[in-house]
Amino acid sequence: MPEGLRRRVVLLPGDGIGPEVVIEAAQVLQAVSRRAAVPIELEEHAVGGAAIERFREPLPEETLAAAGAADAVLLGAVGVPRLDALPRGERPERALLGLRKGLGVFANLRPVRLHPALEAASPLRPDIVRGTDLLIVRELTGGLYFGTPRGVEGEGAARRARNTMAYSASEIARIARVAFEAARRRRKKVTSVDKANILEVSQLWRDVVDETARAYPDVRLEHLYVDNAAMQLVARPNDFDVILTENLFGDILSDEAAMLAGGIGMLPSASLGEGPGLYEPVHGSAPDIAGRGVANPLGAILSAAMLLRHSLGLPAEADRIETAVGQVLDAGARTADLARPGETAISTRDMGRRVREALDRGTPGERVR
């Protein structure tokens, strides 16, 4: 096989349920590799608590180097409660921020799509969530997560802590362009979320988004304050197409939006920049259910689909995976997080196997090569 065809994916299973869901997604990638006759090489590295145990640091040099040299990175989750007492710079979560910054993945895409079969799995009323199909475009390498000065100073009652929310016009413009481009491929509406009634950062955000919008006259733009957006998201989710927002607001709104799609176990994400993309399910390490084989692997499997689409240039294979996931849900397969009272829950491995079987069968009318 010529070298140019070979695709390299670094797997970072991480902590908690991370390894359990990543293995299912990795097997889906292998199935795609076989059927599309594209060699996809998978290479595993340590991250998070798993890396702290082996290398005494959450993001070893060799992990970041391997990630940077790959075509794409598929991450499970990081976070171990036992390690929460470590100083901030040594906690497993540090690895995530290090990877995002190290790979320069400033654009975090979190599609929130409710599969019709899961209407009843949402804690919100079916008539409200029905038809939900939105995309959160979250800025990922700026804002409060990275701004300086930061830290805690002083002793005892005199302790004082601070973080800095800062954005440059160019950082805002580049994430705004991602949102407008995405909207062009969708329903052509961008809702930019800020706190421009209070924050200077948001005032600049709003100005730059307005300026960027001029190059996209075919896309409708609206601005919402973040508190109002949080309310509207659960009141009228169908009015949203692309939500464009900064790092912390996007973190909060994307967990809220997960509830529209039947739970956080369903949500995939892609983080994109100039180099390799970073793909991960939005759910965390879920230590309470880790090791029991009950986690929902669909967020990870749908992240693998995004990886094929955005980093490996295999959009048709991505579509196939999404179709297969839909078929499996239509057929009634539910992991514990999705099962309603009286419904039988299947294991992580069974859910992964069902998706691969659906993939092998292909969509009706399609010939499997």
List residues with catalytic annotation. Answer: 145, 195, 227, 251, 255
Residue 167 to residue 236: CA distance in whole angstroms: 30
Tell me how many residues contact ligand IPM (CB under 6 A).
Answer: 3
Instruction: Give the pair of three-digit tokens for residue 124.
Output: 């919100």
User: Among 35, 38, 39, 47, which Cα is nearest to 11's?
Assistant: 47
Residue 243 sits at φ, ψ, to 5 deg, of -105, 120
Sign of CA dihedral 111, 112, 114, 115: positive
Task: Give the bridge partners for 109, in sequence order.
Answer: 137, 270
Nearest-approach distance from CB 179 to ligand IPM, in angstroms: 18
Q: Does 93 bind ligand IPM (CB under 6 A)?
A: yes
Q: Which does 24 bind (CB under 5 to 8 A by kind): ligand IPM, Mg ion, none?
A: none
Is 96 among the residues that bind ligand IPM (CB under 6 A)?
yes
User: Which entry of ligand IPM, Mg ion, none binds 96, CB below 5 to 8 A by partner kind?
Assistant: ligand IPM
- The answer to whether 24 and 88 are in contact (CB under 8 A) is no
Binding mask 239-258 for ligand IPM (x = CB under 6 A): ------------x-------
DSSP 168: -
Cα dist from 38 to 270, 313, 321, whole Å: 21, 11, 16
Q: Which is nearer to ligand IPM, 58 or 60 (CB)?
A: 58
* Nearest to ligand IPM of 139, 251 (CB atom): 251
Decide which of ligand IPM, Mg ion, none touches 93; Cβ closer than 5 to 8 Å per partner kind: ligand IPM
Angle between helices 18-36 and 298-310 (to 10 degrees): 40
Q: State the minimum distance, in angstroms, from the CB of residue 93 to ligand IPM.
A: 4
Distance in Å, CB of 328 to ligand IPM, minimum? 25
**Toward ligand IPM, which CB reaches closer, 171 or 251?**
251
d(CA 55, CA 61): 10
Helix axes 200-213, 169-184, angle to 10 degrees: 50
Applying CB under 6 A, does 71 fall inside the site for ligand IPM?
A: no
- In the complex, least distance from residue 251 CB atom to ligand IPM, rounded to whole angstroms: 4
Residue 280 interacts with Mg ion (CB under 5 A): yes or no: no
Query: With binding defined as CB under 6 A, does residue 31 bind ligand IPM?
Result: no
The conformation of residue 141, written as its DSSP 8-state character, comes to S
Residues written for the chain: 369
Give the binding-site size for Mg ion (rule: CB under 5 A): 1
Judged by beta carbon distances under 5 to 8 A according to partner kind, the member of ligand IPM, Mg ion, none in contact with residue 119 is none
DSSP state of 367: P
> Should residue 251 be labelled a site residue for Mg ion when binding is judged by CB under 5 A?
yes
15 binds ligand IPM (CB under 6 A): no
Give the whole-angstrom CA distance, residue 293 versus residue 336: 10
* Residue numbers at the binding site for ligand IPM (CB under 6 A): 93, 96, 251
